[in-house]
């Protein structure tokens, strides 16, 4: 399933597998000036390929290697010989052999599926990716995954945040995520003046009238509803939640008690993912214990 929209000249493709006639677990890909940022999941790959027919496509940049962001890489590269794919060096082995290097739990196979292999080149923090009209700076932003990248186009004020920022107030986290790295990475991208914030999921944010489009040495305070304000609010929420979790932990409360006290009742996603994505995982992350094996 695919929905298309345009924001400041950037085409956004919202992509999901259709189950019982409805899209489930949407993710976003963006096309601008021959550059595709992420490619959705394997189940939605045919829809994206069809939408890109007739579009000039020179390059793909993957913000990270999770299966819902690399799903059409292989098919696009097979159908367009010479198509360049760029990603963090740590992502390259996963892109080359997703089935062997990134085992998927049942819910991930159902919602997103196995991507086909693709060949990519590495990019590092600070790399400038040039298209015909734009220059995109690579910003290394680990936490959501060790290989996560964001892209920033300074002239237009476009900030592509992948899954580092998707909005909302998190009540759960997946195994393996590093919440302290996520907060540090959010603080880093918040220093780039964003006129438009393009997340890997959730809605596109535009700079509000109250937000100055000027560089900042720290986190901006701005009117609610804009790109910088939403980043600021997310950082503040995560930091405050962390302080409260650590305080309860110092008082001797356990993970389950802390989860119930601060994060509310059970969530359906906890059952669907068999606990891989849960309130408990979020608490463990703040305690530095959110490993895949915990």
Please provide the average confidence, as pLDDT, over all residues in the chain.
90
Range of the domain at 60: 2-286
Contact 117/97 with Cβ under 8 angstroms? Answer: yes
Contact 129/92 with Cβ under 8 angstroms? Answer: no
Q: How many Cα atoms are found within 13 Å in the side-chain-facing hemisphere of 40?
A: 30
List beta partners, residue 36: 31, 60
Contact 1/28 with Cβ under 8 angstroms? Answer: no
Question: Could you tell me the pLDDT band of residue 228, with boundaries at 50, 70 and 90?
Answer: confident
- Residue 208 has a pLDDT of 64
Contact 207/157 with Cβ under 8 angstroms? Answer: yes
Mean pLDDT within 95-114: 92
Q: How many domains, in total, are found in the chain?
A: 1
136 domain-assigned = yes
266 domain-assigned = yes
| pLDDT surpasses 90 at 14 | yes
Pick from 15-29, 73-87, 116-130, 222-236: least confident: 222-236
Q: Express each pLDDT in 243-274 by its tens digit.
A: 999 999 999 999 999 999 999 999 999 999 98
Q: Express each pLDDT in 66-90 by its tens digit.
A: 999 999 999 999 999 999 999 999 9
Q: What count of other Cβ atoms lies within 10 Å of the Cβ of residue 220?
A: 18
As a whole number of angstroms, the distance between CA 70 and CA 66 comes to: 7
292 domain-assigned = no
- Sheet with 35-37, edge to edge strand ranges: 2-7, 10-19, 22-32, 35-37, 59-61, 84-88, 121-123
74 domain-assigned = yes
Alpha helices in 60-130 (DSSP H): 73-79, 92-96, 98-101, 106-111
- Residue 232 has a pLDDT of 93
What's the pTM? 0.90
We report the CATH number of the domain holding residue 159 as: 3.60.15.10
């Amino acid at each position: 399933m695919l929905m298309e929209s345009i924001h400041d000249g950037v085409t956004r493709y919202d992509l999901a597998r259709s189950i019982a006639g409805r899209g489930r677990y949407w993710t976003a890909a963006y096309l601008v000036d021959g550059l595709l940022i992420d490619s959705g999941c394997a189940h939605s790959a045919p829809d994206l390929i069809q939408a890109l027919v007739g579009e000039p496509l020179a390059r793909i940049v993957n913000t990270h290697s999770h299966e819902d962001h690399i799903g059409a890489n292989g098919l696009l590269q097979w159908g367009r010989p010479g198509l360049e794919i760029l990603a963090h060096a740590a992502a390259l082995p996963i892109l080359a052999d997703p089935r062997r290097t990134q085992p998927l739990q049942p819910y991930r196979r159902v919602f997103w599926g196995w991507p086909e292999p693709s060949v990519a080149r590495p990019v590092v923090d600070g790399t400038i990716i040039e298209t015909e009209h734009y220059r995109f700076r690579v910003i290394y932003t680990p936490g959501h995954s060790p290989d996560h990248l964001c892209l920033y186009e300074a002239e237009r004020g476009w900030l592509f945040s992948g899954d580092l920022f998707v909005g909302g107030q998190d009540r759960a986290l997946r195994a393996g995520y590093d919440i302290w790295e996520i907060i540090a990475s959010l603080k880093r991208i918040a220093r780039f003046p964003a006129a438009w914030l393009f997340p890997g999921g959730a809605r596109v944010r535009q700079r509000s009238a109250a937000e100055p489009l000027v560089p900042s040495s720290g986190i901006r305070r701005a009117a609610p509803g804009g790109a910088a304000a939403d980043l600021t609010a997310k950082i503040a929420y995560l930091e405050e939640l962390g302080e409260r979790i650590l305080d309860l932990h110092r008082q001797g409360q356990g993970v389950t008690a802390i989860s119930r006290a601060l994060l509310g009742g059970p969530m359906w996603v906890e059952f669907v993912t068999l606990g891989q994505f849960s309130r408990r995982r979020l608490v463990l992350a703040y305690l530095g214990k959110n490993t895949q094996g915990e």
